[in-house]
Amino acid sequence: MAKLDVNQYMRQHYRPEDFKHLHWRGSFQEYLELVSKNPKVTRNAFQRVYDMVFSFGHSQYQEYKKEVTRYHFFDDPFDVGRDAVYGIDVHLMKLVNFFKSAAAGYGTEKRVLLLHGPVGSAKSSIARLFKKGIEHYSRTDDGALYTFEWVDDQETEILGGQKIFPSPMHEEPLKLIPVEVRKDFLDNLNKGLSSDFKIKIKGALCPADRYIYSAYMDKYNGNWEKVMSHIRVKRMLLSEKDRIGIGTFQPKDEKNQDSTELTGDINYRKIAQYGSDSDPRAFNFDGEFNIANRGIIEFIEMLKLDVAFLYDLLGASQEHSIKPKKFAQTDIDEVIIGHTNEPEYRRLQSNEFMEALRDRTVKIDIPYITRLEQEVRIYLKDFNLDKIPHVHIAPHTIEMAATWAILTRLEEPKKSDLTKLQKMKLYNGKTLPGYNEDNVKELRKEAMREGLEGISPRYIQDKISNSLVKHGHVGCLNPFMVFNELEAGLKHHALINGQEQLDHFKEMLAVARQEYEDIVKNDVQKAISVDETAIQTLCANYIDNVKAYTQKEKVRNKYSNRLEDADERFMRSIEEKIDIPESRKDDFRREIMNYIGALAIEGKVFDYKMNERLHRALELKLFEDQKDSIKLTTIISKVVDKETQEKIDVVKSRLIKNFGYCEICATDALNFVASIFAKGDSAKS
């Protein structure tokens, strides 16, 4: 076994100069020089969070003729996308706009940010992202911030016999400047700075720092310079694990929790040392509000908190201050993020005693995804070849599970000619006759609660996991295995409210099954009719007949060389494949010819792939012509002749090569499609 040199790895990744840079220490005067060079080190918590989001860049795209911004911060660049949030960019824009307004001081900095949505809609992931982001940002040059500690080589009684006393709430060093001189000092410091950012000093020192400051002022008879000689400014690295600048509060049993967890508590062992329980040095400023100063505090399931805890939020949000036991109001600078689900929020709305909290809350809806391609991305993070190399996931398996999840979240369309499945496809960017971007935008607007109800991604993830455990030995997971698992789990689903919702979910599952049946038939049909030359020949024949029909000409028979009328039966055999009725055939044919004419003017040649509907019709027609020669229905019988088997093997290899099937699921797909056609043949007879 090769000998591992740990030091070598450490030298590659950790350099002493980097450590020194991140753990900079200096005098108060040196800090002022830093501030004059880079005033942004004095930003408040909201400004820092907003700049942090923007530091990862953004891109823009059009959706329903509206420009949407995608902030790359929400791709989770910290954990390779583990907490990435997809499909709700419009809502994330509202969230970023909240921070933009707060950073500018327009009032939202005095509010509690409440992420509201159904279970499993990424509320916790977003909160985690902000905590990870601000922690990472504080370690960059752009995100640098500083605090201070008191230093006294004499181990005086002022510091409680210690040589070093860190600021317990990681205060901004500029707060050490007396209130009386702040205005003149800031006027001088802000000269020449751009109007978009001016240095401000808000609030007073925390009780412990204020006590020590006053004690040194007494000792030196008001000589502020001598007091500052005991100040050592240091770089502050935010860390959730070290409880520096990032706090998390979670509801617990009422008997085991009190408000001191938020605002700190008396350290009874130090009362004997300092002689009083009102001495701030005998107080532990380690509540979540205290330690989150200069950063972020997250309230998990915020509205499950006891009312007594919610009262603390009132002052913390509006006045940016908290009230530790036996001490005056203490200033804080932090972003307060809470998240809750809908039943808890409805309870808040109905509680007339909580009007003050409602008034100080900005609610941002975080709904479920309603765009299929984005929902699929969630599951591909966990169920992919890298994470499950031993099991092949058949094509459309993840897509079908996601299809069902989205169908349960959509509201019934108000237009009678539109199904939920069609609505889902429109949301996913597909086109349907009679619907444009404006129509889709209207569909979005009329569905007020879309995405706030339905099946959560967690349920889908759990059931795909169960399917892998149950059927992993087969070597391939197909949609039917997942469908069965999804349906079986519904009767035990804790969040289903009554029989009506259960029936609705089962109905949508039947729609998803039917959709898969159509998709797998389409795959097999394409594999059979994949012959490009045959499709081109068929297309050319159809275009010749359509041209002759629309221009009232004759078409030359390539076998007899005679001029004949357009072959109506042949044209209808193609058009019927895409459900073009007799009454619409002329419109469709003229549409094709007009398109070909427009291309000719531009010097372009028509290709059947340019028209999706015609392309599909030609494939289906070719499949219809060829399926009998392959004798697809014989697959499900035990007797298959050699010639047919060779043709079946060719189709199977095409499914594997062109559509991502493996040997197992390609065989299953062919058997399933064969059984469908067998049923159709028996029904006809």
Kindly report, residue by residue over 233-244, the tens digit of the pLDDT: 999 999 999 999
In terms of pLDDT, which residue wins out, 340 or 10? 340
Residue 620 binned pLDDT confidence (cut-offs 50, 70, 90) = confident
For the segment 348-358, the average pLDDT, to the nearest whole number, is 80
Across all residues in the chain, what is the average pLDDT?
Answer: 88
Pair (161, 253) in one structural domain: yes
Q: What percentage of the chain reaches a pLDDT higher than 70?
A: 93
Among 160-164, 191-195, 284-288, the least confident range: 191-195
Helix (H, G, I), strand (E, B), or coil: what is residue 129? Answer: helix
Specify whether 301 is located in the same domain as 168: yes
Distance from C-alpha of 9 to C-alpha of 6, rounded to nearest angstrom:
5
* DSSP code, position 638: S
Alpha carbon distance 425, 431 (integer Å)? 8
Q: Are residue 302 and residue 426 in the same domain, yes or no?
A: no
Which domain range does residue 578 map to? Answer: 529-630
| Among candidate residues 346, 367, 388, the one where a domain is terminated | 367
Spatial CA neighbour of 594 closest among 545, 546, 541, 553: 546
Cβ–Cβ under 8 Å, residues 249 and 288: yes
Instruction: Give yes or no for a contact between 313 and 357, defined as CB atoms under 8 angstroms apart.
Output: yes
546 CB contacts (<8 Å, ≥6 apart)?
566, 571, 589, 592, 593
Q: How many CB atoms lie within 10 A of CB 449?
A: 11
What pLDDT shows up at residue 267?
87
Kindly state the average pLDDT of the residues 305-332: 86
Q: Return all residues near 276 (Cβ < 8 A) that are at least 6 apart.
A: 282
573 shares its domain with 605: yes
pLDDT at 631 over 70: no
pLDDT in tens, 197-219: 889 999 999 999 999 999 999 99
Q: Let me know whether 400 and 319 are in one domain.
A: no
Q: Is residue 404 part of a domain?
A: yes
DSSP string, 373-430: HHHHHHHHTTSSTTT-TTSEEPTTHHHHHHHHHHHHHSPPPSSTT--HHHHHHHHTT-
For residue 479, the model assigns a pLDDT of: 95
Structure tokens at 296: 């972020």
Quick check: 251 pLDDT over 90? no
For position 522, what pLDDT does the model report? 86
Q: What is the pLDDT of residue 1?
A: 46
Do residues 496 and 350 both lie within one domain? no
CA distance 158 to 230: 11
Whether the predicted pLDDT of 328 surpasses 70:
yes
Q: Indicate whether 337 and 380 sit together in one domain.
A: no
What one-character-per-residue DSSP string does 520-584 give?
A: HHHHHHHHHT--HHHHHHHHHHHHHHHHHHHTT--EE-TTT--EE---HHHHHHHHGGGT--GGG
pLDDT above 90: residue 232:
yes
Q: Is residue 652, in this structure, part of any structural domain at all?
A: no
- Mean pLDDT for 539-544 is 88
Burial class (CB in 10 A: 0-12, 13-18, 19+), 653: middle
226: part of which helix (H) or strand (E)?
helix 224-228
Residue 601 reports pLDDT greater than 90: no
Rounded to an integer, the average pLDDT of 436-461 is: 90
| Biggest distance spanned by C-alpha atoms of the chain | 119
Measure the CA–CA gap between 377 and 383, rounded to whole angstroms.
Answer: 10
φ and ψ at residue 340, rounded to 5 degrees: -155, 165
Q: How sure is the predictor about 685, in pLDDT bands with cuts at 50, 70 and 90?
A: very low
Model confidence at 254: pLDDT above 80: no
* End-of-domain residue from the set 630, 658, 673: 630
Do 325 and 291 reside in the same domain of the chain? Answer: yes
Residues 6+ apart with CB under 8 A from 298: 127, 130, 131, 247, 248, 249, 337, 338, 339
CA-based torsion, 205, 207, 213, 217: positive or negative: positive
Summarised one tens digit per residue, pLDDT across range 6-16 is 777 666 666 77
C-beta separation of 149 from 126 below 8 A: no
Least confident segment among 49-63, 370-384, 623-637: 623-637
- The predicted pLDDT at position 12 comes to 67
pLDDT of residue 525: 81
pLDDT per residue over 380-394, tens digit each? 998 988 888 889 999
Whether the per-residue pLDDT at 165 is higher than 60: the answer is yes
In a domain, 663, yes or no: no
Rg (CA), the chain: 34
Burial of 154 (0-12, 13-18, 19+ CB in 10 A): exposed
Lowest mean pLDDT across 38-52, 303-317, 564-578, 669-683: 669-683
Which of 317, 339, 367 lies at the terminal end of a domain, its last residue?
A: 367
pLDDT of residue 633: 55
